[in-house]
Structure 1
Amino acid sequence: MRLPLTSRRSHHRSVCVLLSALLCSGLACAQASYRIATEGTYRPWSFKDAQGALQGWDVDIANALCERMKARCEILAQDWDGIIPGLMARKYDMIVASMAITEQRRQRVDFSDKYKDTISRFVAQKGTRQDVSPSALKGKTIGVQRGSIQANYLSQNYKNSDLKFYDTPQAAELDLVAGRVEYILGNMVTYYVGFMKTAESANFAFVGPDLKGGLLGDGNGIAVRKGDVELLSKINAALAAIRADGTYDRITAKYFPFKLM
């Protein structure tokens, strides 16, 4: 027996509702939403523009990952020395802030696949000797960002130097120019596209060799809370996707005249 037209329409709507319920059971169809921490004072990786909006390589990478994960994301600035505690306190879900992958940090967070390499360098006045070994820098003043891998490296290896710790890399650079420290140690790429491009750097140069590995990390990764396997899997898949389709290289070319990995 054929159903009346109105009954057929009602039956059709009921079937659609049932199918939708089956396909979107639980939260499967809800768009994922994540809060992402970056630093915000680490040009060109992350910084605030004149309007106070976050910009930079890490910010662009974070947005590209969210697009691939089809997720709504809020990116917020967090002081570096509190960035891991904030993750552990669930203030945000991941850290996209050029964080070096170290064994010490692995004890507190889980890392994604590496998404760029890290090389550290000393900067000092031009003409400074190239030997930057701990014995050569005994008694020398060295500036470094507090909470960074470089700070940990210096604390462990340069116990006979006078170490000065700063909240931002820029603060250390200012004291180098002012003569309050003799050396600074930090990310080579950051110095290359930042401080070394300024007029204030005219009398300064890189000294010593490239430094990497060990306490200085095995490249950079995106940090999530320990055991967050599902999110980590999504991040790694999204990282692979933006590298495969050229998005990663396009973002990198926007900020640097060389590859990061």
Structure 2
Amino acid sequence: MRRRSALAATTLAFAGTAMGQAARLRIGFAVGYAPFSEIGTDGQLKGFEIDVAQALSAKLGQAYTPVILEFDGLIPALQSRKIDAIMASMSITPERQQVIAFSSPYYFSPARMVMRGDTRTDVSPAGMKGKRIGVERGTIHERFLAEQFGGIQLVRYATQDQAFLDLKSGRLDATLVDAAIAQFGFLNHADGRGFGFVGPDFARDQRYYGKGIGVGLRKAEAATLGQRVDEALAALRSNGTLKTLNDRYFSFDLVTPPK
């Protein structure tokens, strides 16, 4: 297990000499999601979202300080002005848009169920009735399962890594998670041997999963910082930076908007 409690109280500074004296952006991350954001063996943050944040910071001409939090603490930290933005694979959903603003999407991810054994399992509310399904607390996966799979035993975790551990040990029957996180954080490793994806891509239900993954921002700053972030993301998309970063980590395309 990663020693997250010590890291959560720590911030790591990324400064650029060309970024002048502009106030640093405090960007909130939830680590433990390879290859999106994790702590490397050298104690440094790494991953796709970390690289996107660095590219975004450079394009804005503003250095940033990463702040590591549990996922369900990110929106409260944004609202209480402890951080200025969220980059933690947070889906742009109508429910979240009631309380915070979002940038345009910087990537898109399927949501899949992971189980052991037969991938022909009936992954429907009836077919999963009575099964123990794990989910990270505070995610859109939690709300989706609570409202659409009422007959299951929903087990909530502080981190997705904890859910994977219980899935491996047999204390869970399944977990619902972003497909890329499941692939790189579990299925590609020895612990994930014998497990696989089952059922459909639940992220196609935009009532819950919204329109992609965006930078979370305070509503009051949507027309200021939000506009600058959107312009920077558009530039990173048009000049190929987002696709280059995508290809550094993935053999499939997460950054091109789906048609």
Query: Letter of the aligned partner of 1:255 in structure 2?
Result: Y
1:68-83 to 2 correspondences below 5 Å:
68-83=59-74
Give the Cα separation in 2 of the matches to 1:129 and 1:184. 16
Among residues 228, 231, 252, which one is paired with 1:234 in the alignment?
A: 228
1:216 partnered with 2:192:
no
Gaps of 5+ in 2: 1-19
Deviation at 1:32, TM superposition (A): 4.2
Identity across the alignment (%) = 37
Give the Cα separation in 1 of the matches to 2:40 and 2:116. 30
1:35 partnered with 2:31:
no
1:65 partnered with 2:56:
yes
The higher radius of gyration belongs to 1
Deviation at 1:199, TM superposition (A): 1.3
Query: Letter of the aligned partner of 1:71 in structure 2?
Result: Q
Give the Cα separation in 1 of the matches to 2:150 and 2:49. 33
Gaps of 5+ in 1: 1-28
Question: After the TM superposition, which parts of structure 1 deviate over 2 Å for at least 4 consecutive aligned residues?
Answer: 29-33
1:1-261 to 2 correspondences below 5 Å:
31-212=22-203, 213-228=206-221, 229-260=223-254, 261=256
Contact 1:132 1:207 in 2 (8 A): yes
What TM-score comes out, normalization by structure 2 length? Answer: 0.87
SS in 1 for 2:124: coil
What TM-score comes out, normalization by structure 1 length? Answer: 0.86
SS in 1 for 2:247: helix
SS in 2 for 1:259: coil
Contact 1:120 1:187 in 2 (8 A): yes
Give the Cα separation in 1 of the matches to 2:49 and 2:246. 10
For residues 64-121 of structure 1, the C-alpha deviation after alignment (integer angstroms, 9 at most, x for no partner) is: 0110010121112111110000000001110111110111100110000111112100
Give the Cα separation in 1 of the matches to 2:73 and 2:46. 20
Query: Letter of the aligned partner of 2:150 in structure 1?
Result: K
Contact 1:36 1:96 in 2 (8 A): yes
Give the Cα separation in 1 of the matches to 2:163 and 2:24. 36
Mean Cα displacement is larger for which, 216-225 or 83-92?
216-225
Query: Letter of the aligned partner of 1:218 in structure 2?
Result: K
SS in 1 for 2:199: strand
Query: Letter of the aligned partner of 1:237 in structure 2?
Result: E
